[in-house]
Amino acid sequence: MPNQIFAFNTASLPPGGPGKLSVLVGTAAELRPLFPGLPPGAESAALAAFVTDPRSGSPVLLISGPSWQAVSSAIDTIVSPTDRSSDVRRDVLTTERWSAPNAPLVFSDTNIALSQLGVKTAEFSGRRLRTSFNIAVPADFYANAYGEAKVLLDAAYTDNVMPGSHIDIYVNDNIASTVPITTTSGGILRHLPIRVTMRHFKPGLNSVAVEAILMTKDDAVCAPGSTAGATPRFALFDTSELQIPDFARVGQRPNLAAMAGTAYPYGRATEPTPLFIDRIDADTLSAAATLLGQMAITAGHPIAVETVASANTIGDRDAIFIGSISQMPATALSQTNIATASQASWRPVPDAQAGVVDTGTAFEEWNSKVSGGVLRNRVTAFREWLSRNFDISRSSLQFIPGAEQIFTPANADTLLVAQGSSPAGAGAWTVVAAPSAKDLRDGLEVLTARLNWPQMSGHITTYSSKTGKIETVPVTRFDFVPSTPWSIANYRLIAANWLSTNILSYAFLLVVFVLLIGITTSSMLRKLGRSK
């Protein structure tokens, strides 16, 4: 189930209610004062069963035994049916609890009919038709700069549909392609190929939407008292297909989008993941359980963890650090490029009433800002135009990616998730921190919500409870992590995506290649052919 929130309590049994499940975990001796109706079998053997609370009549999940080893065995009886070996590949991401059917996981060149994705043939008589479906790609997806998928569209429209109507394709709420309707005599589209850029795809779950914007003369007139016609003007057929080409597959570190999509790399671990928790209190434990619960949903199985007391005992394994920023190990902050000074400076902004602003002073300040920033605004607008029309940014106009900048969280931020490499570069370290344990708990309850969790990406993600915004810091430099057996075809795709991202490197290599061809040709012509 999505949107799971965990809360720890040791004083009393929490009150029940719709959408709530009380879980009692402990030895029989510890639980008997809290739950007098404890079954006798809990004192002699491991027990995992639903029992009824005699005080409220609500069901309670009881996990108990004579010792904590027995409690661990009882937990294993619940977890084992859902566990999955790391070498067993998933075919789908489970989404049927909130969006049926389950999203198929695509690993290579694949054609999927929309009927298999839950789309049904629809005849439509209105102005705007939108239908969506889910598709998933693995955590090592690396085709965000050059790849193109195709929607092979089967549709029909009547002669009432006017030119200016169009069919749009959206990927994760970003428009990826549009097809205008230019004819006035109607038409039937049979597997019309619509190219869809894959720059908006991300590891894990992806939502693809087909939207038809239809205009007719009747809509333009819209006479008072008239009703909408019932005659269909557009039809979308479930024989349409989505074609995903072969794409480069290589893991990247850091990559919070892969962690949000499939819990990478922790979902593939064969050994328990080291988990550093700064203190054992209700807020921190609740936050850690909420985070691990969401990661289990995306991974498709529970993630085994082992608690550690010091970062020095982790080595170069994948690890998770969670707690308040003041208690976070300095090594973990350094590896994720978080300023260590933030341990003392990161404090939440107190709520304060706005003071009285002098109109004349404010006008002069704004006048100086605007007049001095005209050139800067024009440069910014030009950069945005280049990025929007040609996908050219400052990061792409460099020979090699630059170093990551040290990040200092703003006082308005209340939660931070950052990922970096371990000291020797063999593992991924993820830091989840907040100014206080309460901020940590409240922030993770918001961030792990189904609609917010996919927004986590890049190298750092922050959340502010003051503004409700989730902001990300893109990755400047990352390391490749091999995830598939070596092959020339895959390395060619990796090189194509990397060169498409770093266009100056591509231009330089192209010039060098042309010069080598010229030198080689000139050398051959001197030695071959008839001499003077």
- Can you say whether the dihedral through the CA atoms of 403, 404, 406, 411 is positive or negative? positive
**pLDDT given at position 354:** 46
d(CA 218, CA 200): 36
| Contact status, residue 216 vs residue 160, Cβ threshold 8 Å | yes
Q: What is the residue extent of each domain of the chain? A: 22-81, 93-247, 252-344+386-479, 486-523
Instruction: Note if the bond before 348 is cis, omega within 30 degrees.
Output: no
Contacts for 482 with CB less than 8 Å, ≥ 6 apart: 250, 251
Q: Is the pTM of this model over 0.95?
A: no
What is the CATH number assigned to the segment(s) 252-344+386-479? 3.30.379.10
Architecture in CATH of 93-247: Sandwich (2.60)
**pLDDT given at position 393:** 60
Task: List the one residue out of 496, 530, 503, 509 whose CA is nearest residue 198.
Answer: 496
Question: Token pair for residue 337?
Answer: 């490029």
Contacts for 428 with CB less than 8 Å, ≥ 6 apart: 253, 254, 265, 318, 319, 419, 420, 421, 422
**pLDDT given at position 293:** 94
Question: Token pair for residue 58?
Answer: 């609500």
| Contact status, residue 218 vs residue 227, Cβ threshold 8 Å | no
Contacts for 342 with CB less than 8 Å, ≥ 6 apart: 325, 333, 408, 409
Report the side by side order of strands in the sheet with 415-421: 305-308, 273-277, 319-324, 428-434, 415-421, 460-463, 470-473
What Rg do the C-alpha atoms of the chain give, in angstroms? Answer: 29
**pLDDT given at position 244:** 95
Answer yes or no: same fold for 93-247 and 252-344+386-479. Answer: no
What percent of the chain is helix, strand and coil (3-state, nearest 5)? 30, 25, 45
Contacts for 154 with CB less than 8 Å, ≥ 6 apart: 189, 190, 191, 192, 236, 237, 239, 240
Contacts for 512 with CB less than 8 Å, ≥ 6 apart: none
Question: Token pair for residue 530?
Answer: 């008839």
Contacts for 171 with CB less than 8 Å, ≥ 6 apart: 196, 197, 198, 200, 201, 206, 207, 208, 209
**pLDDT given at position 387:** 65
Place of tokens 């003071």: 355
**pLDDT given at position 523:** 87
Burial of 17 (0-12, 13-18, 19+ CB in 10 A): exposed
d(CA 230, CA 218): 12
Per-10-residue mean pLDDT of the chain, 532 residues long, equals: 90 82 92 86 90 84 93 92 81 90 93 94 91 94 89 93 92 92 89 92 95 84 65 92 94 94 91 92 94 94 91 92 94 94 84 60 69 63 66 60 82 94 92 95 95 94 93 90 90 90 84 93 80 55
90, 95, 100, 104: CA torsion to nearest 10:
-30
Place of tokens 């080689």: 520
User: With helix as H, strand as E and coil as C, how does 340-366 read?
Assistant: CCHHHHCCCCCCCCCCCCCHHHHHHHH
- Can you say whether the dihedral through the CA atoms of 34, 38, 43, 47 is positive or negative? negative
